[in-house]
């Protein structure tokens, strides 16, 4: 099996930054400062997540059995609509089985499945010796895509703009991972009952640190609430190393360059969410 460092992402491309209003640059921002070893910790967690998924698939522990009383089998044309919760539950189980082994090679020590409305689906904690602390925590958002349905899950919603922007202010070392799991579904007939049972099989995976996705791969959909971040094509992404503050500014640019958003709306949100200092007096 490959070592953790061999699985870390290394594809990079420059960001295409768009201009923001002059008033934006005069504000007194709360500027997050991540730890010096953030990138190292991100690579460590991403590589471990990829490695666990790869081991689960290669070992044959990648099938979800769906027992039904349907003589004609599962409705394959719509199966992608219900696949998400199944695949998410499979991923949580795979992580939990690894964590149950205290000597596991990925140093995974804790797994916590989250409620439906939380930002992520599962929180993973890895043991890692650092200058400050001895662990790395990653919040993982599981996205399912169908291998045999064109366009399935290609551009998923990730999370609310306001929610994720605030998360990076509250914790500059916040590590939000997008785990993409590709699956296929087929039916088998039970020899005794003659009923058709479904098999959902996870066949591919990839994982990315949201903060390191290139600007071109992140899109902003203003249709819901404060807007949703999306990945343009989850199967083909490139990455760029950046600081937490650089990512916050990138998110702000995505918001303000939407035709349905204004600087005034952003400023009201920034004050409410505490992104700028309480006196919010423009700098000289």
Q: How far apart are CA 133 and CA 113, in angstroms?
A: 23
Q: How far apart are CA 283 and CA 38, in angstroms?
A: 29
Tens-place pLDDT, residues 70-81: 777 777 667 777
Enter the tokens of residue 85.
Answer: 């919760």
The mean predicted confidence, pLDDT, of the chain is 86
For the chain, the domain total comes to 1
Is residue 188 domain-resident?
Answer: yes
Is residue 24 domain-resident?
Answer: no
Domain residues for the domain of 80 are: 37-273
Is residue 48 domain-resident?
Answer: yes
Is residue 30 domain-resident?
Answer: no
Is residue 81 domain-resident?
Answer: yes
Q: How far apart are CA 174 and CA 244, in angstroms?
A: 9
The enclosing domain of 105 has a CATH number of 3.40.600
Tens-place pLDDT, residues 27-61: 999 999 999 999 999 999 999 999 999 999 999 99
Contact assessment for residue 33 and residue 248, using Cβ atoms and an 8 Å cutoff: no
Q: How deeply is 5 buried, as exposed, middle or buried, from its count of CB atoms within 10 A (0-12, 13-18, 19+)?
A: exposed
Percent of the chain with pLDDT over 70: 87
Tens-place pLDDT, residues 226-276: 899 999 888 889 999 999 999 999 999 999 988 778 889 999 999 999 999
Among all chains, which residue has been given the structure tokens 């000289």?
284
Tens-place pLDDT, residues 123-171: 999 999 988 889 999 999 999 888 765 555 567 889 999 999 999 999 9
Return the pLDDT at 149.
Answer: 56
Tens-place pLDDT, residues 1-23: 444 444 444 344 444 444 578 88
Is residue 107 domain-resident?
Answer: yes
Is residue 199 domain-resident?
Answer: yes
Is residue 208 domain-resident?
Answer: yes
């Amino acid at each position: 099996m490959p070592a953790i460092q061999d699985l870390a992402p290394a594809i990079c491309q420059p960001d295409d930054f768009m201009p923001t209003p002059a008033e934006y640059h005069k504000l007194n921002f709360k500027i997050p400062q991540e730890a010096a070893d953030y990138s190292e910790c991100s690579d460590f967690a991403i590589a471990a997540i990829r490695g666990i998924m790869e081991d689960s698939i290669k070992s044959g522990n990648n099938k979800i059995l769906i027992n039904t009383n349907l003589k004609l089998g599962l409705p394959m044309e719509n199966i992608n609509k219900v696949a998400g919760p199944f695949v998410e539950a499979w991923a949580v189980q795979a992580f939990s089985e690894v964590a149950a082994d205290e000597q596991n090679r990925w140093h995974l020590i804790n797994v916590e499945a989250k409620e439906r409305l939380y930002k992520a689906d599962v929180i993973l904690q890895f043991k890692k010796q650092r200058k400050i602390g001895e662990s790395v925590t990653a919040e993982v958002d599981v996205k399912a895509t169908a291998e045999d349905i064109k366009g399935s899950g290609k551009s998923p919603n990730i999370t609310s703009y306001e929610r994720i922007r605030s998360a990076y202010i509250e914790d500059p070392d916040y590590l939000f991972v997008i785990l993409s799991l590709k699956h296929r579904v087929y039916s088998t007939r039970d020899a005794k009952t003659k009923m058709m049972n479904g098999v959902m099989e996870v066949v591919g995976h990839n994982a990315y640190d949201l903060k390191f996705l290139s600007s071109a791969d992140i899109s902003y959909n203003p249709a819901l609430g404060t807007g949703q971040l999306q990945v343009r094509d989850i199967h083909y992404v490139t990455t760029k190393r950046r600081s937490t503050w650089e990512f916050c500014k990138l998110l702000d640019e995505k918001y303000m360059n939407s035709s349905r958003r204004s600087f005034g709306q952003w400023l009201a949100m920034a004050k409410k969410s505490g992104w700028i200092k309480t006196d919010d007096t423009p700098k000289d």
